[in-house]
Structure 1
Amino acid sequence: MKDTAYALSASRTLWELVDRRADLTPDRPVLLQDDGPDHRVLTFGGLREGAERVAAGLYGMGVRPGTVVAWQLPTRIETALLSFALARLGAVQSPVIPFYRDREVGFALRESKAEFFAVPGTWRGYDHTGMARRLGAKGVFEAYDDLPDGDPAVLPAPPAEGTSVRWIYWTSGTTSDPKGVLHTDRSLIAGGSCLAHALHLAADDVGSMAFPYAHIAGPDYTVMLLLYGFPAVMFEQFALPDALEGYRRHGVTVAGGSTAFYSMFLAEQRKRPGTKVIPTLRLLAGGGAPKPPDLQHAVTREMGVQLTHGYGMTEVPMITMGSPDDTAENLATTEGRPPAEMEIRIVDGEVRLRGEAVCQGYLDPAQTAEAFDEEGFLRTGDLGHLTGTGHLVLTGRRKDVIIRKGENISAKEIEDLLHGHPAVGDVAVIGLPDAERGERVCAVVERAAQAPGAEEPTLAAVTSYLRAKGLSVHKLPEQLEVVDALPRNETLRKVLKYKLRERYSGTVK
């Protein structure tokens, strides 16, 4: 199985990967749709056949190799069929997260110069078609239950190389307009291969997609399915505990998404201590946000499963990944190791990257020039170091370094410690402007689920706890804010620190 997967990872294009997998295991399932009473199955052979028919329908609409097609669609079998149909044609596709609205969508359409725009119609109470018309989008068509259809005999030959830019992904744009990130088929295959080979998965595994398929994790995960020939359950609307029945029904063995997802699964497990919340589950895996060591240990101890965490970004879908055969210490305190094809260089504490999985740059050439150094390494803005075993330890982001009275303070160090406090569900540490200190340390704490009447954290209790953990006095928070829920994005539930800075910058404690 491993040799077959490594051979498939050499595919030149995503369509070649689909084609080769369909030849190997045409009748095995690849996608399982779970939406309450709606359970559908798509096989690897059905993926190839269906995508070719959709590609023919798109061809009849005027889509050609190089045509830019944007799509804003939920996590559904039809979305995967449309995306692979575009890959079959060699079109340039620009996925847009379904929760984005006029500002982000309008920006993506304008910057990508999209000639067609696929939308789900009215979805979850929002009229996406109306928004597209309002924005003056070109070539608007609905692609939810019904997709374009045609005779594959009309299709030109599939793309022969995978090094041309055929994907435009969008960064979250949390502090400014999003950036259009340029990817090739080969960069997406390289990213998915890193994930697949690190996790040591097999054909009898069952994965899950609880995140937007339009996120960079969509192709990352799908490449893994194509390499190893196993299926994944797609959740169009993910919420716990409602989704648990779907995980149990399909016998999911691998779940996850990001740190917030681990916490949600752990919270459900704590409702039923001693009984596995998903009986078949053996592995949680993901990335996209920092993972506190205490959460790693709690998941392993209480859920009885392994947790392997990785490091990736829109620009590089998979950089490093923890592996099931790593030590418990490495799994808890590092982001795993990179594959042989990924070069990591630490320059003045910053992580820089070079390799096939790295994007080709941005739509804006000025942003590309700023992002890459003179040797072609991508500047990530993340701070970290490599251990003697080649594992990567992230210590924060450049903008997350708080400078208090001239001393650098890592927000992540304080966050990791506070995650162990019993009254803390989650935490974000930020620097706020301060006339005397330059910046002051503010901890924004999300209340832990606990019994009614339990005491919530106070500044005195938090600082006392951190002192007991050995944190230096000059790093102690000077401000504490307690909230019911931290603001998060809608993809991998990453905490939006910029919103916290906006909310609390005017406060004085």
Structure 2
Amino acid sequence: MDETAHALGTAPTLWELIRRRAGLTPDRPVLLQGDRVLTFAGLRDRAERVAAGLHARGVRPGTVVAWQLPTRIETVLLSAALARIGAVQSPIIPFHRDREVGFALRESKAEFFAVPGEWRGFDHTAMAGRLGARGVFEAYDDLPSGDPSVLPPPPAAGTDVRWIYWTSGTTSDPKGVLHTDRSLIAGGSCLAHALRLTADDVGSIAFPFAHIGGADYLVMLLLYGFPAVAFEKFALPDALDELRAHGVTTAGGSTAFYSMFLAAQRERPDRKLIPTLRLLAGGGAPKPPELYHAVVRELGCRLTHGYGMTEVPMITMGSPDDTPENLATTEGRPPPGMEIRVVDGEIRLRGEAVCQGYLDPAQTAAVFDADGFLRTGDLGHLTGSGHLVLTGRLKDVIIRKGENISAQEIEDLLHTHPGVGDAAVVGLPDEARGELVCAVVERAPGAEPPTLAGLTAFLRAAGLAPYKLPERLEVVTELPRNDTLRKVLKYRLRERFGQGRPAERP
């Protein structure tokens, strides 16, 4: 990290980080969206006016304000305004509906709720009414505004809980994850340092800003003083014109985004998809090694992948100066200050970027061990060079006849099959085996549907042990994914295929 970014990274609060960056490069853009431009000084000044408008409505330091808004300049302004006041903000992914939103509002005890009105065919204001939400206001185009002179001093300490993020809730009700400005700044600082970005870069925010990755990315922009293109709705090839027009140099989000870029490149292999692109980066889901090699070979850029979670937004990250082998097969290295301990194969974490726990004290007590390390539920190991290799999740280990099988190992091999577009492997209940191995795959475009016999022969030839071979194959049009980083929802596959026919014989 350069000296300026390092100095900014010592800011105690997010608002102080915004203030310092605006003082250094006031006229440089921070967000680009369509033909709109928000500068760093504009972020500071407009956020203060919005903060005054919120203050006039009764928002005070410590007031819980939930917001469910798409990725727009107005959303970032609202979030910055809440940081200026020192309110507790609870971002909610805009695709969530009554069940998830109602749970978040109840558990957080939100006193205000900002919504986009009717957005993409869904009436969020009406939903807020059904849920009995308090202090509902629309914040899509118009934001509250007022005289900043009425505001109290900005918060001075970054160690108070001011953020409640929500886990994906893929297996049960979501958990409210408690973060401070300090933990979010630590995560964003680590991301910026690992990616080796500079003030000359142009980034992109293609995922919901309400995801914890949104705060991470904003911190990175503030530290290095470069802009990002914000997408309210991201899809390829629709987004390509804007990516090209703004000269985006770094893009990504997760494994699913890498695949989207690769598929778009394959539509026109004779021209570089985005001429200025030099780096794809992301995290949030396992990265098959073959996908790394395909991106580098066909897109002509670097790919750095990392490991993070709502509880710890940046744990490890690949760096552009890592070896191709490490970039393909590991999740990168932890930054200074992030301690990783592996206990019985499980990854445990301690450091400034780690959350303060959950809204539910019982959940907090269960997730931290006696030494203050957070138990991730992820399995892996550290290499001799300090790089982290993920091998699966505790709940994603298939136990067949007493033998532990890593779903990820099989998935990585399936991704190298020319007839497989994407794949997920799950364990399904089986009376004789305890669990059987089921492969669920998307067919690659233009390929014949794979067969169980063909896949198992391919996996045998790749060296997979016979006891790990899938005993059941399901070919689907599309794997179920969440709406943030497009993670595959394996619980839905278990629900869908967990009943019915027995294991097949290849």
Would the TM-score normalized by the shorter structure come out above 0.5?
yes
- My pick for the range that moved more, 472-481 or 268-277, is 268-277
Q: CA deviation at 1:482?
A: 0.3
- Residue 3 of structure 2: aligned partner: 3
Distance 2:336 2:33 in 1: 35
The runs of at least 4 consecutive aligned structure 1 residues that moved more than 6 Å come to none
Distance 2:79 2:265 in 1: 35
| Residues matched between the structures, number | 502
- Residue 465 of structure 1: aligned partner: 458
Q: CA deviation at 1:71?
A: 0.3
Deviations 1:149-204 (A, max 9, x none): 00000000000000000000000111111000000000000000110000000111
The one of 488, 491, 495 equivalent to 1:498 is: 491
Q: CA deviation at 1:7?
A: 1.0
Determine if the alignment matches structure 1 residue 347 to structure 2 residue 343. yes
Deviations 1:344-389 (A, max 9, x none): 0000000000000000000000000000000000000000000011
- Residue 28 of structure 1: aligned partner: 28
Alignment of 1:10-409 (within 5 A): 10-34=10-34, 39-409=35-405
Distance 2:471 2:140 in 1: 50
Q: CA deviation at 1:324?
A: 0.2
The one-letter code sitting in structure 1 at the alignment partner of 2:219 is V
Determine if the alignment matches structure 1 residue 475 to structure 2 residue 471. no
Q: CA deviation at 1:447?
A: 1.1
Distance 2:269 2:165 in 1: 41
Distance 2:344 2:7 in 1: 38
SS in structure 2 of the partner of residue 226 of structure 1:
helix
SS in structure 1 of the partner of residue 30 of structure 2:
strand
Deviations 1:203-241 (A, max 9, x none): 110000000000000000010000000000000011111
SS in structure 1 of the partner of residue 7 of structure 2:
helix
- Residue 432 of structure 1: aligned partner: 428
Distance 2:224 2:249 in 1: 14
Deviations 1:127-162 (A, max 9, x none): 000000110000000001000000000000000000
The one-letter code sitting in structure 1 at the alignment partner of 2:420 is V
The one-letter code sitting in structure 1 at the alignment partner of 2:425 is V
Q: CA deviation at 1:256?
A: 0.1
Deviations 1:254-298 (A, max 9, x none): 000000000000000011113111111000000000000000000
Distance 1:241 1:397 in 2: 34
TM-score relative to the length of structure 2: 0.99
The one-letter code sitting in structure 2 at the alignment partner of 1:27 is D
SS in structure 2 of the partner of residue 430 of structure 1:
strand
- Gaps of at least 5 residues in structure 2 are none
Distance 1:268 1:279 in 2: 14
SS in structure 2 of the partner of residue 493 of structure 1:
coil
Percent of aligned pairs sharing the same letter:
80
The one-letter code sitting in structure 2 at the alignment partner of 1:505 is G
Q: CA deviation at 1:507?
A: 2.4
Deviations 1:10-60 (A, max 9, x none): 1100000000000000000000013xxxx2000000000010000000000
Alignment of 1:441-452 (within 5 A): 441-450=437-446
Deviations 1:440-464 (A, max 9, x none): 00000011112xxx42100000000
Q: Cα RMSD (Å) of the superposition?
A: 0.6
The one-letter code sitting in structure 2 at the alignment partner of 1:500 is L
SS in structure 2 of the partner of residue 30 of structure 1:
strand
SS in structure 1 of the partner of residue 104 of structure 2:
helix
Distance 1:395 1:175 in 2: 20
SS in structure 2 of the partner of residue 19 of structure 1:
helix
Distance 1:197 1:185 in 2: 18
Distance 2:424 2:448 in 1: 20
Deviations 1:63-86 (A, max 9, x none): 000000000000000000000000
The one-letter code sitting in structure 1 at the alignment partner of 2:302 is Q
Deviations 1:474-503 (A, max 9, x none): 000000000110000000000000000000
Distance 1:465 1:151 in 2: 67
The one-letter code sitting in structure 2 at the alignment partner of 1:30 is V
The one-letter code sitting in structure 1 at the alignment partner of 2:25 is T
Distance 1:7 1:381 in 2: 35
SS in structure 1 of the partner of residue 107 of structure 2:
helix
